[in-house]
Amino acid sequence: MAGLIGNIFLSGAFVASIAAMIGYALSASGYKNTDSKKIERISNWFWGFKGIFLLIASGILIHLLVTHQFQYFYVWNYTSLDLETQYLYSAFYGGQEGSFMLWIIFSFIVGLGLIRWTRKPYRAPVMFVMALTQVFLLSMVVGWDLIVAQIGASPFRTIAQEMPNAPFIQANPDFTPSDGTGLNDLLKSPWMMIHPPIIFVGFAMMTVPFAFAIASLWTRTYHDWIRPALPWTLAANLSLLTAIFLGGYWAYETLSFGGYCAWDPVENASLVPWLIGTAGIHAMIIQRKSSRAHKASIFLAILAYVGIVYQTFLTRSGVLAEQSVHSFVDLGLYGQLLLFILVMVALGIGSYLYRYRELPSPEKESKILSREFMTFTGSMLLLILGLVIILGTSSPIIGRFFVDNPTPPEIAFYNQWSMPIAIIMAIATVIGQHLFWKRYTWESLAGVLIVPLLLTSIATVLSIILGDVRNIGYMIFIFAAWFAVFGNGRVIFDLLKKRPKLIGGALNHVGFGVLLLGVIASSVYTEPLLDQRTASYNARVAQGEVFDEEGFPVTQPIEMFELDLNSPKLINERWMVTYEGYELSDSPRLGMQTYKIKFEPVNGGSPFYMKPEVYPMLTTSTRDNIEWSVDPHVRTGLFSDIYLYVAGSRYVEKENERVEQRNTMQPVAGNPETESRQSIEIKQGEMVTSGNFNFTFRNFVPASEESVPDNTQIGIRALIHVEHEATGRAFEVEPLFAVYTDDGRSYTYSPPLEIEEWDLEVTFTRVLPEDDSIELTVDGLDYEFEEDWILVVAEIKPFVSVVWLGTFLLMAGFSVSLLRHWAREKKAGEDYESKP
């Protein structure tokens, strides 16, 4: 029932956005006559209704999720009864349908801002474009089942609608599962709650420059649009940057991708629009300052949004399903997504070409040493980098021109292209920033750059020596990055004295330099942590001295090491590393092990612990097969991070064996005789190790009369402390030993005591007075005793902190520029309103 209402509201929102779109189009095409104002006001009402309907539908979906209505496919597919409340809410955007809805909601709010702040003549055409994108996005979730085609996939469809042919549905159409399949374990992370919304805020705001560019082409006013569009573009870029940062940090810290950037198609999906958006910002700034580059800024504003739609298409249509960790599933939206991208391209590029001849072009070419030329160069470099990445991600489509069945490009492809582009960019930023504020000739520019160049050279030489850099390409890269830091630093230094509010741009460019330094240090100079034996083995592999059993040279180094319980190993000649056992717990995840690994620096310094986790994935594990997932531990430091996870352990191996045995042994009834039994002789106060356990005989305890049989002559208990060596968990048991007489004969009575957690039975079988000890019999010890061990994969990554610092500087720079442009735009708005 609630689902039906939800569907009605979604359809209402869809229809309202179509009405708004038509209204805005009518109003825009006749904006000089008086009716258009009225039509526009009605369209605003439609826009508002659409938003209200959408919010109600979202509220219903959240209600269904929170109240566990598993007859709905979306609820069943993404949540379960044991899901924590905060993840029930974030499951709203855990699937494709919900994430579309979130995107639409943010676009709606952005639209309200546009209605409030945009001036004539742009308001109606801008809102038309906004409404058009809304129509497309809403069509993805509206779920209309027309006879010719299915439009969209509704989040409110029931399981019966999703799988009408499943036999259990045909037997019982009202079938409601008792529990859902649950949110993917990897998504149960606090990052999940903030990362997606910020991305969609960015996507929604990036629609604004696109809408303004179309509006400027429509109204043939090619200059003024950038004033209102620029703050929106800056804000969109700031949120995309924040989202990329959060996603990168999430990937680095909790998902074991092994790095903050893996050139994954979905990560590229937010990176490319950011790059193109930044290119657009450069072009807009030239246009604002010098009335040039109209063509470029309109083109890039269109391209940034087309980039978003294209990457949405790639990641959501199922084209990339095999290449990405973000496995979006094909919802049958391929056709609709294709139509979306085609219409956006046709509208954007089509109207651009249609008006191309009218677009203003500068009377004379810019000199090379002018701020226009340099800023434009920056813009083009960003665009080229964006295009290279698009090409790489599009390999399943474009690669078909080269080979059948194309694979994704090697990582080297991205690196080989992005490195030289970044080097040119870094140098261009310094020249560009200087020219931006003052005129220079080559001579005077060289004059002011002497100090930064000197500092750059010193820093580069130091980096090369300290970092033992051998590769000439990296040397140039490091030089360019330091140059960007010091050169732009000089600009900040100058500006702080005179106009501190204007440092946004220079701050960004310093941040860019810092980011490059961090990227090169942390990605190229990452080293695996290894014990000495593995390290010398790898050295021999590198020299081609190791051969396998068939006589072929081994080429692959080993990048992991093993630790036995409580036996320290020297790692990377820097730390004594000791595995001190693990703890089992059921919170926050069922069956989670937390391993305790101690690092003691060899040359002084305080020891620290790394505590990686391993847990069974609840959503995909079954009774017959446990799938384990690892949660790495990252120790963040100023100079380097240590990244470590447990790739295997005795516990995990035993659990797997147990499951496998249960699978294979089940038909044969268990044979208890194979169980191991061991006798332990132990003195008072002594500790004896047997199997995985330490037994300590503390003292004798008198047995109470109720617990012993009649006619007991001796009744005594022994207080035994049993400790599991690996986990340190301990129990105390008091097994009984009694001698009693019956019919004149003596019997012993010693019932076994069970320690349930370990399937262990302890029996006090004998007293040995001659050497002051007792005999215990223990059942359930592992027959083949094996020392507890873990397999560790760890890396040391230098200067990851610098990557984050660079990102923060970029965010700060964008924020400063955003505030400045926003304040100016607001003032312009007030001036406009105060005019009659």
Q: Which stretch binds other proteins (CB under 8 A): 390-398, 430-438, 486-494, 807-815?
A: 390-398
Task: Write down the H helix ranges in 549-680.
Answer: 650-665
DSSP string, 319-386: TTTTT-SS-----S-HHHHHHHHHHHHHHHHHHHHHHGGGS---SSPPPTTSHHHHHHHHHHHHHHHH
Rg (Cα) of the chain, in Å, rounded?
Answer: 34
CB of 560 to other proteins, least distance (A): 7
The neighbour count for residue 460, using CB atoms within 10 Å, is 20
CB of 7 to other proteins, least distance (A): 20
Among 453, 560, 570, 805, binds other proteins (CB under 8 A): 560
As given in the structure block, the two tokens for residue 201 are 């805020």
CB of 811 to other proteins, least distance (A): 31
Site string for other proteins, 162-201 (x = CB under 8 A): xx--xxx---x--x-xxx-x--------------------
CB of 795 to other proteins, least distance (A): 13
The neighbour count for residue 527, using CB atoms within 10 Å, is 13
By beta-carbon proximity to other proteins, the closer residue of 543 and 556 is 556
Q: What is the DSSP letter of 706?
A: G
Among 139, 395, 418, 578, binds other proteins (CB under 8 A): 395
Residues 6+ positions from 63 with CB-CB distance below 8 Å: 2
Q: What is the DSSP letter of 591?
A: T
CA 631 remoteness from chain centre = 13
Q: Which stretch binds other proteins (CB under 8 A): 11-19, 20-28, 160-168, 473-481?
A: 160-168
Q: Which stretch binds other proteins (CB under 8 A): 158-166, 350-358, 457-465, 766-774?
A: 158-166
Name which of residues 767 to 826 contact other proteins (CB under 8 A): 791, 793
Residues 6+ positions from 420 with CB-CB distance below 8 Å: none
Q: Find out whether 531 and 569 touch, Cβ atoms under 8 Å.
A: yes
Considering the rule CB under 8 A, would residue 392 count as an interface residue with other proteins? Answer: yes
DSSP string, 36-89: HHHHHHHHHHHHHHHHHHHHHHHHHHHHHHHTT-TTBHHHHHH--TT--HHHHH
CB of 160 to other proteins, least distance (A): 11
By beta-carbon proximity to other proteins, the closer residue of 290 and 620 is 620
Tally of residues, the chain: 836
Among 559, 580, 600, 825, binds other proteins (CB under 8 A): 559
| Cα separation values, 148 from 144, 145, 151, 161, Å | 11, 8, 10, 17
Q: Find out whether 14 and 135 touch, Cβ atoms under 8 Å.
A: yes
CB of 299 to other proteins, least distance (A): 15
CA dihedral 28, 29, 35, 38 (to 10 degrees): -20
By beta-carbon proximity to other proteins, the closer residue of 549 and 756 is 549
Q: What is the DSSP letter of 183?
A: -
Considering the rule CB under 8 A, would residue 832 count as an interface residue with other proteins? Answer: no
Q: Find out whether 269 and 309 touch, Cβ atoms under 8 Å.
A: no
Residue whose entry in the numeric block shows the structure tokens 């003292």: 699
CB of 436 to other proteins, least distance (A): 23
Which among 156, 176, 4 has a CA at the least distance from the CA of 92? 156
Q: What is the DSSP letter of 553?
A: B
- Whole-angstrom Cα distance, residue 41 to residue 785? 81
CA 234 remoteness from chain centre = 23
CA 604 remoteness from chain centre = 36
Considering the rule CB under 8 A, would residue 329 count as an interface residue with other proteins? Answer: yes
Number of residues that bind other proteins (CB under 8 A): 59
Residues 6+ positions from 462 with CB-CB distance below 8 Å: none
As given in the structure block, the two tokens for residue 85 are 């409340």
By beta-carbon proximity to other proteins, the closer residue of 19 and 140 is 140
Among 48, 259, 406, 637, binds other proteins (CB under 8 A): 406
By beta-carbon proximity to other proteins, the closer residue of 3 and 228 is 3
CB of 192 to other proteins, least distance (A): 18
Q: Find out whether 651 and 582 touch, Cβ atoms under 8 Å.
A: yes
By beta-carbon proximity to other proteins, the closer residue of 365 and 770 is 365
Site string for other proteins, 52-81 (x = CB under 8 A): -------------------------x----
Name which of residues 338 to 377 contact other proteins (CB under 8 A): 365
Q: Find out whether 809 and 503 touch, Cβ atoms under 8 Å.
A: no
Among 146, 147, 148, 403, binds other proteins (CB under 8 A): 403
By beta-carbon proximity to other proteins, the closer residue of 205 and 529 is 529
Q: Find out whether 314 and 334 touch, Cβ atoms under 8 Å.
A: no
By beta-carbon proximity to other proteins, the closer residue of 335 and 447 is 335
By beta-carbon proximity to other proteins, the closer residue of 221 and 416 is 416
Q: Find out whether 460 and 475 touch, Cβ atoms under 8 Å.
A: yes
CB of 405 to other proteins, least distance (A): 5
CB of 409 to other proteins, least distance (A): 4
Among 48, 56, 526, 562, binds other proteins (CB under 8 A): 562
- Whole-angstrom Cα distance, residue 814 to residue 505? 7
Among 33, 85, 405, 441, binds other proteins (CB under 8 A): 405
Which among 645, 651, 646 has a CA at the least distance from the CA of 725? 651
Among 343, 384, 565, 688, binds other proteins (CB under 8 A): 384
By beta-carbon proximity to other proteins, the closer residue of 179 and 732 is 179
CB of 447 to other proteins, least distance (A): 29
As given in the structure block, the two tokens for residue 231 are 């703050």
Site string for other proteins, 603-622 (x = CB under 8 A): --------------x-xx--
Q: Find out whether 488 and 437 touch, Cβ atoms under 8 Å.
A: no
Name which of residues 284 to 323 contact other proteins (CB under 8 A): 321-322
By beta-carbon proximity to other proteins, the closer residue of 219 and 336 is 336
- Whole-angstrom Cα distance, residue 695 to residue 216? 83
CB of 593 to other proteins, least distance (A): 14
CB of 629 to other proteins, least distance (A): 6
By beta-carbon proximity to other proteins, the closer residue of 653 and 757 is 653
Name which of residues 407 to 426 contact other proteins (CB under 8 A): 407-410, 412-413, 416-417
Name which of residues 625 to 684 contact other proteins (CB under 8 A): 625, 627-630, 647-648
By beta-carbon proximity to other proteins, the closer residue of 550 and 833 is 550
As given in the structure block, the two tokens for residue 701 are 């305890």
Considering the rule CB under 8 A, would residue 93 count as an interface residue with other proteins? Answer: no
Name which of residues 499 to 558 contact other proteins (CB under 8 A): 550, 552, 555-558
- Whole-angstrom Cα distance, residue 392 to residue 383? 14
Binding site for other proteins (CB under 8 A): 77, 159, 162-163, 166-168, 172, 175, 177-179, 181, 321-322, 327, 329, 365, 384, 388, 391-392, 395, 398-399, 402-410, 412-413, 416-417, 550, 552, 555-560, 562, 617, 619-620, 625, 627-630, 647-648, 791, 793
